[in-house]
């Protein structure tokens, strides 16, 4: 089975191909699922952090469950400054790994 980091990079690249206003994609490290934080200029800022969960799709090369947080630029800046938090267990902006 492919490592989570490899699957995360593949998903990040696919998402960037669909949303050309994606500014950056980060990985919140986890042993059991792919956790992506995607910052996009095409997303409005809501002041909320809402995860979107997806089941594994081994038939499409994604053998892990995945969770994506889509954030507007303003919401990302609020997370960086500690005014808005990532979900429990995801760490902080400083502990995320930039992958795209």
CATH number of 4-98, picked from 2.60.120, 2.60.40, 3.30.460, 3.30.420: 3.30.460
What DSSP element (H or E) covers 12? helix 4-18
Q: DSSP label at 4? A: H
Place of tokens 């990532």: 86
Rounded to whole angstroms, the Cα distance separating 16 from 51 reads 18
Q: What's the whole-number average pLDDT of the chain?
A: 97
The mean per-residue pLDDT over the stretch 29-52 comes to 96
- The structure's pTM equals 0.96
How many CB atoms lie under 10 A from the CB of residue 2?
12
């Amino acid at each position: 089975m492919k490592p989570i980091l490899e699957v995360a990079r593949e998903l990040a690249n696919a998402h960037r191909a669909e949303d050309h206003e994606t500014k950056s994609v980060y990985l919140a490290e986890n042993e059991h699922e792919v956790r992506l934080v995607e910052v996009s200029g095409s997303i409005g800022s809501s002041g909320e952090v809402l995860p979107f969960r997806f089941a594994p799709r081994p038939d499409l090369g994604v053998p892990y469950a995945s969770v994506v947080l889509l954030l507007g630029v303003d919401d990302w800046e609020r997370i960086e400054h500690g005014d808005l938090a990532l979900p429990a267990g995801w760490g902080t902006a400083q502990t995320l790994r930039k992958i795209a």
